[in-house]
Chain A
Amino acid sequence: MNIDEALKNITDHFGSRILKVSRKSAKRAYMDIYPKDIVDVARYIFKDISFRFNIASAVDDFDGLEIIYHFSHDASGAVISVRALIKDKTDPHIDTITEVTRSAWWIEREIHELFGIEFDGNKDLRPLLLPDDWPAGVYPLRKNFVVPKRDSRRE
């Protein structure tokens, strides 16, 4: 299966739930969906057309928090990136995809502590990278977090 067939399968299966498809190049495509559809789309791409889950990356943008889930198909060299925009920055939620694949376990923990996004259904959102005494509610990778130039001494 190549990237054109994969995109056609996905758009046929999901119809209007796929908001936009943009072909970046011969082997790269970006797809926009609503956050509530992520589990179904992820399950289809991972299980039904056998793509590999690469990673998820979150961005703090002007109009919301955007999570992009990257999937790749090694037999054809294609990478499809599925974009879900969470408009509510004060209390962002999205469903977990750990039921679909265990490989999302760590990245959801990381996005949770660095951006503050809640993954509904994921019971293990303990901090992965930040120290235990990192202040709650401070999300380092958000744009309004400014790294202090000079730190006070740690005891």
Chain B
Amino acid sequence: MSHKAHVPIGPYHPLQEEPEFYKLVVDGETVIDVDVRIGYNHRGIEKISESKNFDQSIFIVERICGICSSSHPIACVQAIEDIADIPVPERALYIRTINQELERIHSHLLWLGLAGHFLGYNTVFMWAWKYRELICDVMETVTGNRQNYAMLKVGGVRRDIEKEHVSYILSRLDELLPKLDMLKGAVLDDPVIHARLKGVGILTKEAAIDYATLGPVARASGVDIDVRRDHPYAAYDRVKWNVIIREEGDVFAKTVVRILEMYESASIIRQCLDKMPQGPIDSNPKDIPAGEGIGLAEAPRGECFHYIKSDGTNSPVRHKIRAPTYMNFPTFRETVIGQTISDATIILAGIDPCYCCTERMLIVDPKDKAIMNVEELIRLSQEKTARIKEKIGTK
């Protein structure tokens, strides 16, 4: 005897960000189908870009997603530089790398906080966001803004890292590392989190390849890809770091990958500050000739892809933007079917969508009796954690 009910998730949440609308079809406690409707966030950026000049496009592209705010501009300027092999000075390459890695740390900390909240670990949420402020302070000192840095331009960067900033950045990193150790211990060594996340929402390697998944989601399923190593850009071929791979494909593997990547990012930043040469930060290109170019960058969520076609004028003829979540999103359907409702929010969070939409909205299907709002879904998730805590015997 099955009773099919529709459970809407989205699009507005008290705790969260962009809106989307997911409709989960459940049979008792198990999810049997998912339908996604996006478009609440579509701002027509590709069309806007066609009416702006290349310099202006970079500012718009920054605001595609707030947390990938340095990855999209890097991919965009690299696409433009690819059109005519525009050179970039060494120092600018290092500054781009530092900007990107700082953003990676703050994005993963943000994710860790949200995942903690969904599981019921509100202290992890508060800590992760509190220590994220250290990175925001660095960003504000170096670039002038906590987010939306406006650092990139075609042929280089706009602002230099001053000498006094170097010791400031290093001191903040030194302050942050012990806190990362604490968060890592709190999350990865907790038997309740093991019980809660292991085996949940598994994405197999075959599915990951078929869906062309990117970033930590792919690396947690054993797919060994990382744009920084495979298609080297900025200064990544001048520093050493490890690509973190896990084979299990569950949400726990995704958590491990993201936490360990933060340490690698800190190491990359130190190496860059050490090796960065003095010199110009801008090669001042004058004209963009006709042609096409492709730019790739590794955002915290995966690969950003920009394709720009130019006809020799000041504006792009076509600017195609592909964010990493676009490829990772469809895997939600793959990983949540067969799982229970109380795991739905954490499986969604495991993908780290650029919108962690979990909020109530207007009821879509009035015929259905069992309608749950997302606060209840999160509460179910937190209750499951509490039950596991009791069973394991820790409080």
Binding site for B on A (CB under 8 A): 24-25, 27-28, 30, 52-55, 57, 59, 68, 70, 72, 74-77, 79, 81, 101-103, 105-107, 127-131, 140-141, 147
Contacts and interface: CB of A to CB of B under 8 A. Distances in A.
Nearest to A79: B294
B42 A77 contact: no
Report which residue of A28, A54, A127 has the largest number of chain B beta carbons within 10 angstroms of its beta carbon: A54
A72 B326 CA distance: 17
A53 B212 contact: yes
B318 A57 contact: yes
Given A54-B305, A79-B294, A105 B42 contact: no
A130 B230 contact: no
Given A57-B307, A131-B39, A147-B47, A25 B85 contact: yes
B210 A102 contact: yes
B320 interface: yes
Given A75-B230, A106-B326, A130 B320 contact: no
Interface of B: 38-39, 42, 44, 46-47, 51, 82, 85, 209-212, 224-225, 230-232, 292, 294, 296, 303, 305, 307, 309, 317-318, 320, 322, 326-327, 329-330
B212 A130 contact: no
A49 B226 CA distance: 19
Given A70-B307, A72-B231, A127-B39, A57 B210 contact: no
A87 B210 CA distance: 30
Given A57-B320, A59-B309, A103 B46 contact: no
Most buried by B among A72, A107, A147: A72
Given A77-B230, A147-B51, 19 more contacts: A24-B292, A27-B231, A54-B305, A55-B305, A57-B318, A59-B309, A68-B307, A77-B231, A79-B231, A79-B296, A102-B210, A102-B330, A103-B212, A105-B330, A107-B322, A128-B39, A129-B39, A131-B39, A141-B47
Contacts of B42: 129-130
Contacts of A79: 231, 294, 296
Contacts of B305: 54-55, 70
Contact of A54 (B46, B85, B212): B212
Given A74-B225, A105-B330, A141 B307 contact: no
Contacts of A72: 231, 296
B64 to A, nearest CB: 13
Contacts of A76: 230
Nearest to A57: B320
Contacts of B296: 72, 79
Contact of A28 (B39, B212, B224, B294): B294
B289 to A, nearest CB: 13
A140 B210 CA distance: 30
10 contacts: A27-B231, A53-B212, A70-B294, A103-B210, A103-B330, A106-B330, A127-B39, A129-B38, A147-B47, A147-B51
Contacts of A27: 231
A28 B303 CA distance: 17
A131 B39 CA distance: 7
Contact of B322 (A55, A81, A105, A128): A55
A101 B330 contact: no
Contacts of A57: 307, 318, 320
B25 to A, nearest CB: 16
A103 B327 contact: yes
Contacts of B209: 52
B211 A59 contact: no
Contacts of A102: 210-211, 330
Contacts of B307: 55, 57, 68, 70, 81
B313 to A, nearest CB: 14
B330 A141 contact: no
A140 B43 CA distance: 12
Which 8 interchain pairs have the tightest Cβ spacing? A57-B320, A103-B212, A74-B230, A129-B42, A55-B322, A129-B39, A59-B318, A77-B231
Contact of A141 (B38, B46, B231, B322): B46
A140 B303 CA distance: 26
B298 to A, nearest CB: 11
B30 to A, nearest CB: 23
Contacts of A68: 307
A110 B326 CA distance: 11
B232 A77 contact: yes
